[in-house]
Amino acid sequence: MNEIIIHFLSQQTCATICCSDEQGKPYCFNCFYAFNKEETLVYFKSSAETRHGQMMQKNKHVSGTVLPDKINKLIIKGLQLEGVILDEDHPLSKNAEAKYHLKNPMALAMPGEVWTVQLNAIKMTDSTLGFGKKICWNRSEAVLV
């Protein structure tokens, strides 16, 4: 994954995640997240009983956006993501709760479960690199070492 994307995701705190119901009707929610750059995962906390929690249990494909925590109206910067929710017993979900709470310790006081999103594609726009500059990453095209 591109270092600019890694740095951006590591520095921000809030994402908008979109899921869909069985008829394909979309629903978005905002959440604090933690980024695992080694495994290209995003963790967030929510309850399985919420509307989006019920949707994600049935359709594990999600998309979303991350904008800078502090928006500068003169700079266009942010990213769009696609991924899939991993089951809590998936090997990549191991230690998700600890990694999430390390970045978001206040969330220890909140009920809910930590969810894991395996990132599959990202498109980042960053006008500080040139007007309309896009950086793309796709898991299927990533070189594995």
Helices first, then strands: H and E counts in the chain = 3, 7
- CATH number, domain containing residue 99: 2.30.110.10
Helices (H), 28-136: 51-58, 96-103
Q: Indicate whether 144 pLDDT > 80.
A: no
Q: How many domains does the chain have?
A: 1
Query: Per residue in 27-50, pLDDT tens?
Result: 999 999 999 999 999 999 999 999
Q: What is the pTM of this model?
A: 0.92
pLDDT of residue 142: 65
Q: Indicate whether 129 pLDDT > 70.
A: yes
Query: Containing domain of residue 82, as a range?
Result: 3-141
- Confidence class of residue 73 from pLDDT cuts 50, 70 and 90? confident
**61, 124, 2, 8 alpha-carbon torsion, rounded to 10°:** -100
**29, 31, 34, 36 alpha-carbon torsion, rounded to 10°:** 0
- Neighbour-count burial for 57-66, b at 16+ CB within 10 Å, e otherwise: eeeeebbbeb
